[in-house]
Structure 1
Amino acid sequence: MRKLLYGMNVSLDGYIAAPGDDLGWSVPSDELFQWWLDEEKAVELFLYGRRLWETMSSYWPTGDQQPDATPAQIEFARNWRDTPKMVFSSTIDKVDWNARLVAGDAVAEITRLKAEDGGPMRVGGAKLAGAAMRAGLIDEYAVVTHPVLVGDGTPFFAAPDSWVNLSLVETRTFPGGVVLNRYETRR
Structure 2
Amino acid sequence: MTKLIYVTNVTLDGYIEDERGAFDFGPADAEVFRSHTDLLQSAGTFLYGRRLYETMAVWETDATLAAQSELMADFATAWQTANKVVYSTTLTAASTANTRVERHFDPTAVRELKAAAGSDITVGGANLASQAFKAGLVDECQLFVWPTVLGGGKPALPTDARADLELIDERRFGNGVVLLRYRPLGQ
Asked if Structure 1 and Structure 2 have the same fold, meaning a TM-score greater than 0.5 normalized by the shorter chain, the answer is: yes
Structure 1 residues 75 and 63: alpha-carbon distance in aligned structure 2, compared to 1, 3 A threshold: farther
- CA drift at 1:4: 0.2
Query: Counterparts in 2 of 1:1-187, with a 5 A limit?
Result: 2-57=2-57, 59-66=58-65, 69-97=68-96, 98-162=98-162, 164-187=163-186
- CA drift at 1:29: 1.0
Task: Assess if the C-alpha contact under 8 Å between 1:14 and 1:155 holds in 2.
Answer: yes
Structure 1 residues 26 and 110: alpha-carbon distance in aligned structure 2, compared to 1, 3 A threshold: farther
**1:76-102 deviations in whole A, cap 9, x for unaligned?**
111111111111111111003220111
Segments of 5+ residues of structure 2 without an aligned counterpart are none
* Cα distance in 2 between the residues matched to 1:14 and 1:168: 16
| RMSD of aligned Cα (Å) | 1.8
**1:37-61 deviations in whole A, cap 9, x for unaligned?**
001100010001111011111x211
* Cα distance in 1 between the residues matched to 2:66 and 2:75: 15
**1:1-54 deviations in whole A, cap 9, x for unaligned?**
531000111100000111222121143111000011001100010001111011
* Cα distance in 2 between the residues matched to 1:116 and 1:123: 16
- CA drift at 1:105: 3.8
Segments of 5+ residues of structure 1 without an aligned counterpart are none
Report the residue type matching 1:174 in the other structure.
F
Task: Assess if the C-alpha contact under 8 Å between 2:126 and 2:156 holds in 1.
Answer: yes
- Of the structure 1 ranges 166-175 and 122-131, higher mean CA displacement relative to structure 2 is found in 166-175
Task: Assess if the C-alpha contact under 8 Å between 1:64 and 1:75 holds in 2.
Answer: no
Report the residue type matching 2:75 in the other structure.
F
Report the residue type matching 1:152 in the other structure.
G
Structure 1 residues 150 and 177: alpha-carbon distance in aligned structure 2, compared to 1, 3 A threshold: same
Structure 1 residues 85 and 68: alpha-carbon distance in aligned structure 2, compared to 1, 3 A threshold: closer
Task: Assess if the C-alpha contact under 8 Å between 1:147 and 1:177 holds in 2.
Answer: yes
- Of the structure 1 ranges 65-74 and 94-103, higher mean CA displacement relative to structure 2 is found in 65-74
Task: Assess if the C-alpha contact under 8 Å between 2:66 and 2:76 holds in 1.
Answer: no
- CA drift at 1:186: 2.2
Structure 1 residues 26 and 126: alpha-carbon distance in aligned structure 2, compared to 1, 3 A threshold: farther
Task: Assess if the C-alpha contact under 8 Å between 2:67 and 2:73 holds in 1.
Answer: no
Task: Assess if the C-alpha contact under 8 Å between 1:4 and 1:138 holds in 2.
Answer: yes
